[in-house]
Amino acid sequence: MRLSRAVLTAAVVSLTAAGLPASATAAPAVPERSVTDVVPAPVSAKADPRGDFRLTPATVITAGRGAGQVADYLRGLLRPATGYPLPVVPHAAGLPAISLELGHDPRIGTEGYRLKVARDGVTLKANTADGLFEGVQSLRQLLPSAIEAKRVQHRAWTVAGGTILDYPRFAERGAMLDVARHFFRPDQVKLYIDQIAQYKVNTLHLHLADDQGWRIEIKSWPKLATVGGRTAVDGDPGGYYTQAQYRDIVAYAASRHITVIPEIDMPGHTNAAQSTYAELNCDGKAVPPRTDTEVGYSSLCISSPITYRFVEDVVRELAALTPGPFLHIGGDEAHSTPPADYLAFERKVQPIVAKYGKKVTGWHEIAKSVPPVSAVPQYWDFGGSNPDVAAAAARGNKILMSPANYAYLDMKYTPQTPLGQDWAALIEVKDGYGWDPAALVDGVGESQVAGVEAPLWTETIRTSDDIEYMAFPRLPGIAEIGWSPKATHDWEAYRARLAKQAPRWVAQGIDFYRSPQVDWK
């Protein structure tokens, strides 16, 4: 039913090889692409059809001070399909150029950018390398979709003319990948990083441990990975990241201007640890490993000093692997931990995270424990009233929005979707786009929202094709909700822009769901 990546890629290559690019057919009434088509929608975009810039073998990329890494990344994006040299140089010396410059523009903040595409050149300006990187993601959407092909395409390469001024609505636009229920190799995680980065997602939350498997090497408790990592849902093969592999994933994400947030879920969702180390159980007996998808049955032993030695060892090693400011300590669905014990646990564990120089993030249940105002509860319920979350917001905590009935990428699109679950909702593309983070939870308004995150739980997800089918086309919608001004939010306009993304996904080999709600080209 779904086409494999190889078939889709072959289809695009043969289409372009057959000489059918847009430039060779009759001029379309609506241009193939425009600065007004970018996803996520920019703050402002003004098309200039007379300002198209033609990429040629003579084009150079100029990088001002601090722009070299993004310039090299841009070159890496443009070279495979064009085959042009596109050298990164300090000065254009009269050659046609794409110029990347850092500056000081108070309008665009730390992730915004200004882009000008004119006949004589392209100029991208930002205050930081992060801003340049986000600007490059817009720039690539101004080129024909074939720019995403992995092999040389013989055709014209025109960048749509105009200007963009852009910056994010919310600081955090995230994706979560559950590598515990099923394990995903480092190359699969990197592929997803590249796929999400193009929609200006700046955070990847990795759910590294759950009942069914432990996925990160902890040197002071080595069997967590080597034994606790063997299992996965339904008896599928497990796996884990060595610390070297994990550092490499984190560095790869950083090269895509994405910060990794590692999660160790506790005090529940801990069966993999408790089946590996007997001393993590109150009765000193190891529980059997489990590969079913029940939730809420496991709990660390709250009264035992060994529990906190374990937590401190894990937090210390994880903090050392984490350049970003946050560690995620889970905290959801601790149904087997009595409420008083839950609070006692949180009050011991949160200071351990601070001791190792990190801030706490956790599922919104942690709001009950009155965490420090630097902590970010991650809201995953259905919206409406939640007094604990509202009280946290009133105390100054920012809240990250991942409503299960809108943002969970593991929910089925329709009853017929062959993958995923439906306990929160069926989420068609329009539903996933149809919410406002600042109007979701009573008492949590615009200034109290940290941002949005689209979690992908993997009980039913086994392959990269599975990830792609659930994330696309919904992830770009969540990214747009997090990035774009509320004033741009409009389903009809969005679905038209989204349709134009599809040829890019085909060229990239992304195996997406062709929702009937979108008129795919």
Instruction: Specify whether 333 is catalytic.
Output: yes
Q: What single string gives the DSSP state of each residue in 426-457?
A: ---HHHHHS--GGGSBTT--GGGEEEEEEEE-
Of 405 and 501, which has the nearer Cβ to ligand ACM?
Answer: 405
Q: Determine contact, residues 78/116, Cβ cutoff 8 Å.
A: no
Q: In the complex, what is the shortest distance from the CB of residue 364 to ligand ACM, in angstroms, rounded to a whole number? A: 8
Q: In the complex, what is the shortest distance from the CB of residue 363 to ligand ACM, in angstroms, rounded to a whole number? A: 5
Of 9 and 460, which has the nearer Cβ to ligand ACM?
Answer: 460
Q: Which residue is nearest to ligand ACM (CB)?
A: 332
In the set 101, 279, 312, 333, the catalytic residue is 333
**Cα 96 to Cα 55: distance, rounded to the nearest angstrom:** 8
Helix (H) or strand (E) holding 318: helix 305-320
Q: Count residues binding ligand ACM (CB under 6 A).
A: 4
Q: What single string gives the DSSP state of each residue in 227-254?
A: TTTS--GGG-----B-HHHHHHHHHHHH
> Under rule CB under 6 A, which residues in 424-463 are in contact with ligand ACM?
none
Site string for ligand ACM, 157-196 (x = CB under 6 A): ----------------------------------------
The pairing of strands 162-166 and 44-47 is: antiparallel
Of 403 and 476, which has the nearer Cβ to ligand ACM?
Answer: 403
From the CB of residue 484, how many other CB atoms can be counted at a distance below 10 Å?
A: 22
Q: In the complex, what is the shortest distance from the CB of residue 332 to ligand ACM, in angstroms, rounded to a whole number? A: 4
**Bridge-partner residues for 388, per DSSP?**
none
From the CB of residue 515, how many other CB atoms can be counted at a distance below 10 Å?
A: 18
Structure tokens at 296: 């809420």
What end-to-end distance do the CA atoms of the chain give, in Å? 19
CB-based contacts of 508, cutoff 8 Å, min separation 6: 148, 195
Q: In the complex, what is the shortest distance from the CB of residue 499 to ligand ACM, in angstroms, rounded to a whole number? A: 31
Does residue 422 interact with ligand ACM by CB under 6 A? no
Does residue 248 interact with ligand ACM by CB under 6 A? no
Do you find a cis peptide bond into 455, omega within 30 degrees of 0?
A: no
Site string for ligand ACM, 365-404 (x = CB under 6 A): ---------------x------------------------
> Under rule CB under 6 A, which residues in 260-289 are in contact with ligand ACM?
none
Q: In the complex, what is the shortest distance from the CB of residue 457 to ligand ACM, in angstroms, rounded to a whole number? A: 7
**Cα 103 to Cα 126: distance, rounded to the nearest angstrom:** 6
Contact residue for ligand ACM among 101, 248, 279, 332 (CB under 6 A): 332
Q: In the complex, what is the shortest distance from the CB of residue 22 to ligand ACM, in angstroms, rounded to a whole number? A: 43
Contact residue for ligand ACM among 53, 246, 363, 435 (CB under 6 A): 363
The residues that touch ligand ACM, with contacts defined as CB under 6 A, are 332-333, 363, 380
Q: Which residues are catalytic?
A: 333
